[in-house]
Structure 1
Amino acid sequence: MLDHRRVARSHPSYSLALALIVGALASCSTTGASVSGPQPFAGTKDSVTIEQLLRWSLAGEAGKNKIEAALGNVLDLKPLPGRDFSGQGPATLKDGYVLSFGSIGQLTGQIDIGVASEPCLPPKFASELIGAQGAPTVDAHGEDRGKTYTTQRAGNWINFTTTPLTYRCVDSIHIYPIRASHP
């Protein structure tokens, strides 16, 4: 075994060994599916906006990857069982909106984002941005659960919900793959 402490860093065998190790690590990292979670977001925490998150939701897998990376940056996502990730807010975005939570289901392909009520994200803005149609949501007991706006694009359902009774503010955003039937 080579004792690296006795070999000068400028010695050719040291450089060769280092190159082989780096090459082996790089080849291992490019094969198979990653289970390490969301990749780092290229921007900063202060560069993410709610409009970007909504627009990216319309861009299929590439958009979902951007959302996952951004959530990983702004919410400090932690691993959960089943290769899922979750993070709690508050996390203030560049445009002043605040995320209350975020979760990513690696196996299900679902992304859930909580939006704080202050400042209020108007559902009209979000629905016009993604082309979603709204309908009141009532649970099995007849309780008002807000309004749910839904659209489908690029292989995904995108929906967001509003606060109950007033329907005034968006309180959550959900993105998940289209399956054989609407969930």
Structure 2
Amino acid sequence: MALFGIVVEKIMKHLRVIGSLSAVAFGISLVAMSLVSVSQVQSQGLEYTEKEMYFQHEFLPDHALYPALMARDRVLLELAQPDDRISIRVELAGKRMRSAEMLLEKGKTELALSTATKAQKYLLTAVLEAQNLSVDETVLIALKAALQAQTEQLERLQTHFEGAEHDVLQQLLLQSQAAL
């Protein structure tokens, strides 16, 4: 009977930890949503970014619930093992690039540019982590393929921009080429 009590006690301890982590994740998502809603005005163009509410398979950065997804992604990265963080960052980079392309189709060029920049940051951070961890050669090959694919996507995006926005994408392309 004492063994049963010990098992129940350990299970309860795990449930308390899971409950605490869930509460922290919820709190972080609330703070993230608050910060995003406060910073709706773009710093350069002073242009209001309108949030939308729609229901489809993938939420874009213009969706009202997107800040909660960003918070979830950050928590996922923080809790992941170093080797797993690389693949998570590559996946997030791909999602951000797809989002950037979809935002461009919707005519939201500034948000598309910002999203593409974040995609690049995720992928380049994955490359740096892979170099620092001395990962397996197959991981490096997969990273190179992801970087090449993202470079092609950036080149396609760049054709839709002019001026300073075009230059930002050019810098992203130079970063990709340096990492290749």
In our comparison, the structure showing a higher alpha carbon Rg is 1
Instruction: Tell me which protein shows more strand as a share of its residues.
Output: 1
TM-score (norm 1): 0.29
TM-score (norm 2): 0.29
Instruction: Tell me which protein shows more helix as a share of its residues.
Output: 2
